[in-house]
Amino acid sequence: MIMILMAVTTGLLFSLLALGVFISYRIFDFPDLTVEGSFITGASLTLVLITGGMHPVLATLLGTLGGTCAGAITGALHAAFSISRLLSGIIVMTALFTVNLYILGPGGTIIIMDATSLSGMAETAALSLFSPGLQADLDAMHLFPKDIVIFFSLLVIVGLAVLFLRRFFATHVGLAIRATGENDKMVRAMGINVNVVVVLGLALANTLAALSGGLWAQVLSSVDMRSGSGMIVTGLTSVILGQALFSRARFRTQILGVVLGAVLIRLLISLILMTGVPSEVDKLLQAAFLVLALVLPRTLQKRRAAQAVR
């Protein structure tokens, strides 16, 4: 029970990152490696600000802005200087390594007191909301009241993010972003500055990645700067799995598909880890899933096409 709850919670945390990757990869066809850095930038800025005594909500918002800036720089490198998509991301990712180290201090890692972060607020909320009887019941199931509150809060946050993105991509600016990824020639003829759109889109994508990092670090009450590696794979796997689940769906349904993809991946990994596989293989599993997610739909499509011919 606790394994499933933790898996879904982690999935929800990473779903924000996946939504960011959905914007850069799916809309712009931009495999944006910036997220490897901006996820940690969001996490470390948030925790350092909390350590400095800032209110966790404000700290999370400011931490998120770190990602916004990083994404905007990647977009600007590509748009203004025609540096390739992959390389622009690599450049900013590398630069962020130093930035993150500077934020976190020499050790490159930071641990905070639970009580000062959003985790602490969840704990307080759980204690005042849940009756002693309920708390005893949860205890019997080996569940912490705090984790229940975190889970539901994340449901709300991710739900709001999905709603926001659905609304945003139906506005004039949102339509311009979607159109740019698919047909930039038409977009220019409609008077849209493609460069501005790319900067905006990547800024938004990395805002979500940093928010994901900031919340994730607060749930763990710690951040280590190396834990950002492989984030692009986590995001891509969720996006591609989401696509596979909702291949023919409308754009707004695809957004929801990404969240489901992120949660499913974490559930799968948990199931595999439950069989006693050591937890270090997490990243290896993710890489393998990404290969599967990339290859399987194509193979199935080919087989289907072959059957149709017959």
Overall residue count recorded for the chain in this entry: 310
Q: How far is the CB of 169 from another protein (least distance, A)?
A: 9
- Burial (0-12, 13-18, 19+ Cβ within 10 Å), 278: exposed
Binder of another protein out of 143, 157, 175, 233 (CB under 8 A):
175
Both structure tokens of 85: 């998509």
Binder of another protein out of 251, 260, 272, 273 (CB under 8 A):
251
Alpha carbon distance 213, 43 (integer Å)? 4
The reply on whether position 247 binds another protein by CB under 8 A is no
Piece of 143-151, 184-192, 239-247, 282-290 that binds another protein (CB under 8 A):
184-192
The reply on whether position 172 binds another protein by CB under 8 A is yes
Q: Which residues of 148-181 are buried (b: 16+ CB within 10 A; e: fewer)?
A: bbbbebbeebbeebbeebeeebeeeebebbbbbb
Q: How far is the CB of 207 from another protein (least distance, A)?
A: 15
Both structure tokens of 284: 């290896």
Q: Which of residues 189-208 bind another protein (CB under 8 A)?
A: 189-194
The reply on whether position 253 binds another protein by CB under 8 A is no
The reply on whether position 86 binds another protein by CB under 8 A is no
- Side-chain half-sphere CA neighbours of 202 within 13 A: 30
- For another protein, which is the closer residue by CB, 192 or 293? 192
The reply on whether position 183 binds another protein by CB under 8 A is yes
The reply on whether position 227 binds another protein by CB under 8 A is no
Q: How far is the CB of 172 from another protein (least distance, A)?
A: 4
First to last CA, the chain: 47
The reply on whether position 252 binds another protein by CB under 8 A is no
Alpha carbon distance 215, 209 (integer Å)? 10
The reply on whether position 167 binds another protein by CB under 8 A is yes
Backbone angles phi, psi at 304, to 5 degrees: -60, -45
Is the sign of the CA dihedral 56, 58, 62, 67 positive or negative? positive
Binders of another protein: how many residues, by CB under 8 A? 24
Q: Which residues bind another protein (CB under 8 A)?
A: 167-168, 170-176, 178-179, 182-183, 185-194, 251
